[in-house]
Structure 1
């Protein structure tokens, strides 16, 4: 049974991969990499890849015909010189921007540690705390530097990004194309701060042409599109997703959605496919690297144009400095000492090693295997790795059981030589393992007093697995230090005999004993945590390129932009309320940069002043609300010191304004529960509802209206929320506002009303929505304007697919019905809920004049609804509408028709007591016997 299940599972995985590559034209390497990065690995594929018939319009990958599941040919191409793209050019030929983004200004800012985001005019840098937009993009799309000189970009492309920045009230742009200097020192400084730009940005905009060709349908399809996009597979995306608190993704038609609020937050209670795709993205959001496994998991499936970029990304993600001339190994060694944790399983690899004290690690960190065990080994500052191992003598496992398949020839030769020198080498086995399939071969030092130091030789595998008894383990658990033996003083006798002498006759150490033997460098026996290095630290430091010293003046300047470590540590070593030159405290900085745990810790400590204002008058609650941090906002609101309605001095906004701007439904609900006032106007006169309308935040608008938001408040330009929603094309918010009785006729400063804007028809979806609403409520003038502007009279509402004619017929708006039928509106259209035509609705509700209009337009008097199988005559008779019955009978309607349950018109009408209608049906010769027969 188990074998059959495995075969079935394998078949499903294969089918899913074929479906992805053949039916959807997706890169097999990208599909495979995404699946393998998730818990369950390739078992995710059948759930991740949708059925072919459900996604016929899926956008495929271009240029991936030669890719395989383990190699992406396309990703190996050099896209750094791809010609810059043009974006909606209005000029032919398109101009290159010249004279902007001066390199001297950029170089100075980078060297000084100042922001390298440009003001929108391209002439100078933004100042700290000024809002800017960061761009996360794909160079193969033509959004890189291309072949242009420094600071030259296509005018149309920059204007496009500039317009989006303005849309989100940003005063500057950080875009690597124009924000990374060329000079060595400046470039090194800029790269070391690259993650700061994403943490400090008001928004990070994701630009990927694959996604821009993808029609927005819902959060589920968007999630799948993102994980299949070139952007998601690039290396730098890892850093940008992890560091950006607010990410906006652009889809087809320049539609921009919030990654967290509009896409990831919708996964709860959704399909398995949506949850799997969401997991792949969430794994990178706010990712904290705490061990080597974390790093390997997120970096494994990533591609970069330059191989060294992966090392740089890794270093920046972990938080180590990248020197001007740092080698890949330099960076990886700093990462290892920063993380300070590895798993036993990480050390079983088959590749070249680093040098000196890091000789236990592969030269390329990504060659380390993922480990299933926890990170129990500790990496010391000088590169040694220390932890518990089981110690086995070499002769305990016969040579014939060693497996050399796929072992590199040079590594195999080194290991074979070591195995011949049994007196000076031992095997290290993962603790707790009895059936051994692999081990490390290490050389032990001959310098022995009470402990022994080891040097990594390589890993070996065994077949069949070796079932060792307790007697085979020289030490069941021992503290082992693996480093570098060069320069150690030798003593007489074999190293193994020294270990035996040290250990005495007691060969097995019980794992429950408090004092485990220690195998380490020379010196007295020490407990864990009391280690002092026994290897030459100078040797390690010689192998790493040191960072150039930063001048004191530059340190001081950097300190003005960054708070002290003591400050960020929550006041344990200093005052957490210390302010920098921009009046930011540790709490401001932690909240804005998305360091949630630090922010929560600061608040819970009780030592921070939660109401300190920065240079723009912002309190911590403003920043937390804008970032959508529900937990931090909740903590800030506890107690009496934080006012939810406190206004920022710079723009007059409250926390509710900021939450509505950022699209955080959870924070909006939290603030409203705290009695935040929804009708406060900011410096532009905008309420929170205006901001919800601006960005089509439907759920937020609903909460605001429910809590008393006034839809008719006018801003300084006299615009209402409805005007803004119509002008921005925020169709779903327009519908909410209309249902909330918003006034369509309020004039703005330009003397236009929301009705005028809707009539202009700049947004088809809004024009259709307004037409539906106007037909539904009987707004004849608005319907007339819209149909004269050629609004689609066949537009359907999202809920039940009802047309304007369906609503007008149902609700008795005769003049509107006349307008619509004169525009050839379809009189036979049916809604999706009941399957009723306009004539069925009009007949059911007794609108005689409308019935007459529709019949004159040849509406089918014998049409039946899909739920009850009733005709217009049956509905009219059953509801007692005598005049409509008379009209339909005169038009030849069948008086003996039966509904879906077999009831005749007479039977339905009599049962409801409409005797006058019964008389009219009898006059029309309705079959009495047929009705009686049904009763029997």
Structure 2
């Protein structure tokens, strides 16, 4: 071996000792292993690192774990066991699928209840499924509580409002999943930060010298999806092992070597990672990125390739690869020199396994890929001859390719050899078959046993050679209009260009967009450029006059965002004396933010005499942040900071915070600078030693004692450090601290809220209560210092599980008290107490005064965690309360959809009814919760169930005016017509009665029957009678029958004319309503009931028999007017008879309707059953305006009624002189006799009769006289 090979061999042996995969090491740099190999002394031994697979069997050819399917790996626990809850009620799958299909945001807010509304910012997670951070074998959308809370805590630290995690954000349904994977790159591109989680890296001790090497060796870096996620992510944070748990490090600012650093392994490793951060534009770029990587599924690599270059994914990976090549558009001649099976329909020059069989080249991309798979470009052409056959190394070809080659060589006159123009000497050629002068068919790539000189006269250069993909194929360049659509972003705004880091688009848009425009969060372009760390963009915006002091809605300047991003170059551009001291809405300066994030390289540019001791609204200085997060390097830079500055409300100094975190170097640094080791806080007089003792930091306890700290200080309630160590079971500390002989488990009078939290064994005590965000309820501790209701109930409300267990053990709680506590805990959502009581074996079917079990109460309150705890412990899902409601009813009535999901999945009865006959679906409708209704419908409940009032859920929704729920039920297939109430009302009839136009429209468009009758009233008749003009117009347009009759035989036009609704009359007439339809004839029986008089003879005979008339007394007689129906009239006139719409309009004095009907052609001489014409009715009603209008329109002034009275008779009878005068002026005959042979002048005025005479007249007319008159009017003599 040469020295280099010997060195590589030694490195491989050392890597095996350190359990580092040979395949990953070789894939990174090949033979140049020494370029990235760090000092082995900086790498921990395998027995000191966890989270590793055994890689001692791996070789440089392959990793034994590379092709394994890790999607079924059991999901990991961060709590160290499997006692924590598995969250099942969050992350709604249906809501996620709807968001995917409408291409909305699929990141969840930190509560897991709702999808995040952009532009709120989220954290994307890039992880390794083999670590147990995938779905595993569990149901879709469920996750271990401890694992999710681990990521939520990091999201809070990075100031993100949501999380995108493929485990929770990619649905399992085929259509939605395919749609989601097509846009997976956008999830990382739009994220504020991408978090890299890999157990290999989490267990690698943070060291800037070895961090890049660790990333190259990690399983995360070897996976195919990593390439896409890393390329699309703008800001990447990686989790490493810190002194006190995981630490976050910025990939670009803290991990990768900077340009001014000396050459060495770190810089070489950084260059490899940086190459992966560049965009992929050529085939070589794609091969370089994906060749060394692996996935669990075969098709994933083709999908990743398509996403990397923004190409469209096809139905199979071969078609996807072809589309990738079309999108790339240009390749190198060297890519065609391979020994692999190619496609046989198109792209016949391309290997089927593109990523594995096509080789990287170093030559220019001079060949154009056409749309159909042809390639066109410049080649050297050599005519084939027999002497060339001797130098072709056919034995090196694949068997199938060799057979294909020999078949082609049987026709040597058609064969040609193509050589790469960029090679001076030719040692490989393409064997092709000539189709035309410039078109050739690809056969094979063959090596030559003897080199040929490219400058030989035998070679002819042709710049327009086309290698076709099939016989007579004609290609189209990928850039032409006939190609697949190349889409551009619809949101090509300046903000989006900055966010995505597209500098070319940014420059184009800069000319046409305002640099002071802001988004929904109030961020200007300069804010976004600073947050993303785009130095060139920031520089361009500043040169154009962007206001560096402008604030967003959170009062942050661009400098604040630059400090958060950790970009020192951007901070230097933005810093100024004024900007450095500006504060955001929580009082943080840029120095506060950089100190909290631990960016020492940024902190040094922000320190000024004023900012070093600036306090935010919680009284925190930058030194507090550095101390509570263990950023020793930052603390050392803050050398002028005040050491005894106290946090607002609590009074903790930086030393208190450092002792709580547990960083020995930080504590030693603060003490050496003069921090007081006996400083007391302002509430319970805790000292740094109390914090070190309650958290079990043995080395810090020893350090404080060595520096003169009081070994047994008592706080305001008598607690000593030894007492905290004892109750928290910190056995190592009990020997260091002097024992407290008087200590016993404190009684309830010696507890505060802070003591309860102190014994809960949770890290980050000061972080949670001092930082300014919503992740901890700081006020809860401040307002409950004295614990008026006792420590147990406070600890339960604060969900301090360890503290709850301590109190229950100390109190020796009895069974009856536990039952009361269980109901109290459920009512107040005290999850820790509920879990503890369940573990103690308590009876979970105990009831309260309303007969409710704990499961009823938990379902009603909607605490999905407690519901899940009770269900998993065996609580009865079918228990009944005093109203015969089950837990599912309780959840539904209160619209607790997460609790509903748990109960349904657990098998709770979905069709059970309560005392009102309501099923859960009825209850969901009454609650008005669309999500609850949708959840039940998706669960397959009966949508046609009826309650005690025979109402279905759909009818109940319409009756309760919940249109959105009715719409959903109809969409899901609820019957729109047969769900009638007891009186026969359909949903459409009800909607019409209520005048709900939108609901009427929706029901009609959904297919509801427009002719179903409700009490013999169709929807159109109902709308007409109630005067709903818009609904009438809509129903007419939708084709409702306008001649339908109600149970009294009236049409819509009759009803509208009688009620005087002119718009409806006009709409009906214009729609073709029959204007001569007549209302039914009717009379009064002795009991006052209305009955219809039939036209048939049997009907007359029955009526005569009833009133003791003799049929023989009737005989036909001739009348002075013709009662026969005009044959041209509608035959319905014979059947209906009675008053026409024109009659009713006149009777009720609706002049405008009369005028319209006359203009529309209504018969002015139509007669009712008493032979009364419209003019006669107008005269009898003494309406002079209508009389005049009718006469002007040609009404017959000599028409007579059943009693032979003319209009003049009626006018005289009514005593209306003005109408008499009008009729006389118009030529009315004054000598016409009525049935009593009286002239108009001899008719006694009705008005002149006395009241007694009127009564006598009326009595005589009922009923015999009226019936005789009726018969006479019909042609009979009586």
Match of 1:633 among 538, 542, 565: 538
* Equivalent position of 1:798 in the other structure: none
Query: Would the aligned equivalents of 1:396 and 1:472 in 2 still touch at CA under 8 Å?
Result: no
* Equivalent position of 2:317 in the other structure: 328
Match of 1:698 among 587, 600, 609: 600
Query: Would the aligned equivalents of 1:390 and 1:428 in 2 still touch at CA under 8 Å?
Result: yes
The structure whose RCO (Cα within 8 Å, separation 6+) is larger is: 1
How many angstroms does 1:85 deviate by? 0.3
User: Is 1:299 aligned to residue 204 of structure 2?
Assistant: no
Evaluate the alpha carbon distance shift between residue 164 and residue 53 of structure 1 in structure 2; reply closer, same or farther with a 3 A threshold: closer
Q: C-alpha distance in 2, partners of 1:115/1:532?
A: 33
* Equivalent position of 2:670 in the other structure: 770
How many angstroms does 1:781 deviate by? 4.9
* Equivalent position of 1:596 in the other structure: 503
Partner secondary structure for residue 572 of structure 2: helix
The Cα offsets for residues 148-194 of structure 1, whole Å up to 9 and x where unpaired, read as: 00111111111111111111111111111111111222111111110
Match of 1:483 among 455, 468, 472: 468
User: Is 1:683 aligned to residue 603 of structure 2?
Assistant: no
Matches within 5 A, 1:607-618: 607-618=512-523
Evaluate the alpha carbon distance shift between residue 464 and residue 434 of structure 1 in structure 2; reply closer, same or farther with a 3 A threshold: same
User: Is 1:337 aligned to residue 242 of structure 2?
Assistant: no
The Cα offsets for residues 317-357 of structure 1, whole Å up to 9 and x where unpaired, read as: 0001224xx11111111111111011000000111112334
Q: C-alpha distance in 2, partners of 1:150/1:134?
A: 19
Q: TM-score, normalised by structure 2?
A: 0.52
* Equivalent position of 1:310 in the other structure: 301
How many angstroms does 1:453 deviate by? 1.6
* Equivalent position of 1:243 in the other structure: 232
Query: Would the aligned equivalents of 1:117 and 1:172 in 2 still touch at CA under 8 Å?
Result: yes
* Equivalent position of 1:654 in the other structure: 557
How many angstroms does 1:126 deviate by? 0.7
Q: C-alpha distance in 1, partners of 2:478/2:601?
A: 57
Partner secondary structure for residue 454 of structure 1: strand
Q: C-alpha distance in 2, partners of 1:469/1:281?
A: 41
How many angstroms does 1:787 deviate by? 7.1
Partner secondary structure for residue 356 of structure 1: coil
Partner secondary structure for residue 160 of structure 1: helix
Q: C-alpha distance in 2, partners of 1:355/1:486?
A: 11
* Equivalent position of 1:430 in the other structure: 420
* Equivalent position of 2:970 in the other structure: none
How many angstroms does 1:251 deviate by? 0.6
The Cα offsets for residues 104-126 of structure 1, whole Å up to 9 and x where unpaired, read as: 00110000000111111112211
* Equivalent position of 2:127 in the other structure: 137
The Cα offsets for residues 487-519 of structure 1, whole Å up to 9 and x where unpaired, read as: 57xxxxxxxxxxxxxxxxxxxxxxxxxxxxxxx
* Equivalent position of 1:665 in the other structure: 568
Q: C-alpha distance in 2, partners of 1:532/1:711?
A: 61
Evaluate the alpha carbon distance shift between residue 56 and residue 142 of structure 1 in structure 2; reply closer, same or farther with a 3 A threshold: closer
Partner secondary structure for residue 134 of structure 2: coil
Evaluate the alpha carbon distance shift between residue 755 and residue 195 of structure 1 in structure 2; reply closer, same or farther with a 3 A threshold: same
Query: Would the aligned equivalents of 2:110 and 2:163 in 1 still touch at CA under 8 Å?
Result: yes
How many angstroms does 1:273 deviate by? 0.4
Query: Would the aligned equivalents of 1:772 and 1:804 in 2 still touch at CA under 8 Å?
Result: no
User: Is 1:29 aligned to residue 14 of structure 2?
Assistant: no
Q: C-alpha distance in 1, partners of 2:70/2:127?
A: 12
Partner secondary structure for residue 74 of structure 1: coil
Q: C-alpha distance in 1, partners of 2:660/2:270?
A: 39
Q: Which has the larger radius of gyration?
A: 2
**How many pairs align?**
697
The Cα offsets for residues 618-641 of structure 1, whole Å up to 9 and x where unpaired, read as: 10110111111111111110033x
How many angstroms does 1:46 deviate by? 1.8
Match of 1:82 among 69, 73, 93: 73
Provide structure 2 residue ranges, at least 5 long, that are not aligned to the other structure. Answer: 681-685, 713-1278
Q: C-alpha distance in 2, partners of 1:74/1:804?
A: 46
Match of 2:344 among 348, 351, 355: 355
How many angstroms does 1:267 deviate by? 6.0
Q: TM-score, normalised by structure 1?
A: 0.70
Query: Would the aligned equivalents of 1:397 and 1:466 in 2 still touch at CA under 8 Å?
Result: no
The Cα offsets for residues 354-411 of structure 1, whole Å up to 9 and x where unpaired, read as: 2334111111211111112111111112221110000001117532211134421110
Query: Would the aligned equivalents of 1:20 and 1:49 in 2 still touch at CA under 8 Å?
Result: no
Q: C-alpha distance in 2, partners of 1:703/1:757?
A: 25
How many angstroms does 1:62 deviate by? 2.1
Query: Would the aligned equivalents of 1:134 and 1:175 in 2 still touch at CA under 8 Å?
Result: yes
Q: Alignment RMSD, CA only?
A: 3.2
How many angstroms does 1:7 deviate by? 2.2
Q: C-alpha distance in 1, partners of 2:393/2:228?
A: 39
Query: Would the aligned equivalents of 1:63 and 1:74 in 2 still touch at CA under 8 Å?
Result: no
Query: Would the aligned equivalents of 1:103 and 1:181 in 2 still touch at CA under 8 Å?
Result: yes
* Equivalent position of 1:63 in the other structure: 54
How many angstroms does 1:486 deviate by? 2.3
User: Is 1:16 aligned to residue 11 of structure 2?
Assistant: yes
User: Is 1:752 aligned to residue 652 of structure 2?
Assistant: yes
* Equivalent position of 2:526 in the other structure: 621
How many angstroms does 1:729 deviate by? 2.3
Q: C-alpha distance in 1, partners of 2:134/2:658?
A: 38
Matches within 5 A, 1:403-442: 403-442=393-432
Partner secondary structure for residue 245 of structure 1: coil
User: Is 1:740 aligned to residue 640 of structure 2?
Assistant: yes
Q: C-alpha distance in 1, partners of 2:361/2:256?
A: 28
Query: Would the aligned equivalents of 1:771 and 1:782 in 2 still touch at CA under 8 Å?
Result: no
Evaluate the alpha carbon distance shift between residue 74 and residue 820 of structure 1 in structure 2; reply closer, same or farther with a 3 A threshold: same
* Equivalent position of 1:154 in the other structure: 144
* Equivalent position of 1:398 in the other structure: 388
Match of 2:100 among 106, 110, 114: 110
Q: C-alpha distance in 1, partners of 2:603/2:27?
A: 39
Q: C-alpha distance in 1, partners of 2:692/2:230?
A: 44
The Cα offsets for residues 834-890 of structure 1, whole Å up to 9 and x where unpaired, read as: xxxxxxxxxxxxxxxxxxxxxxxxxxxxxxxxxxxxxxxxxxxxxxxxxxxxxxxxx
How many angstroms does 1:793 deviate by? 12
Q: C-alpha distance in 1, partners of 2:447/2:272?
A: 33
Partner secondary structure for residue 716 of structure 1: coil
Matches within 5 A, 1:478-877: 478-487=463-472, 563-564=489-490, 568=492, 586-603=493-510, 606-640=511-545, 642-648=546-552, 650-672=553-575, 677-706=579-608, 708-737=609-638, 739-760=639-660, 762-774=662-674, 781=678
Q: C-alpha distance in 2, partners of 1:282/1:434?
A: 33
User: Is 1:276 aligned to residue 268 of structure 2?
Assistant: yes
Query: Would the aligned equivalents of 2:237 and 2:251 in 1 still touch at CA under 8 Å?
Result: yes
Evaluate the alpha carbon distance shift between residue 78 and residue 819 of structure 1 in structure 2; reply closer, same or farther with a 3 A threshold: closer
Q: C-alpha distance in 1, partners of 2:108/2:152?
A: 11
User: Is 1:47 aligned to residue 35 of structure 2?
Assistant: yes
* Equivalent position of 2:218 in the other structure: 229
The Cα offsets for residues 215-268 of structure 1, whole Å up to 9 and x where unpaired, read as: 112x22111111100000000000011000010000112101000011114463
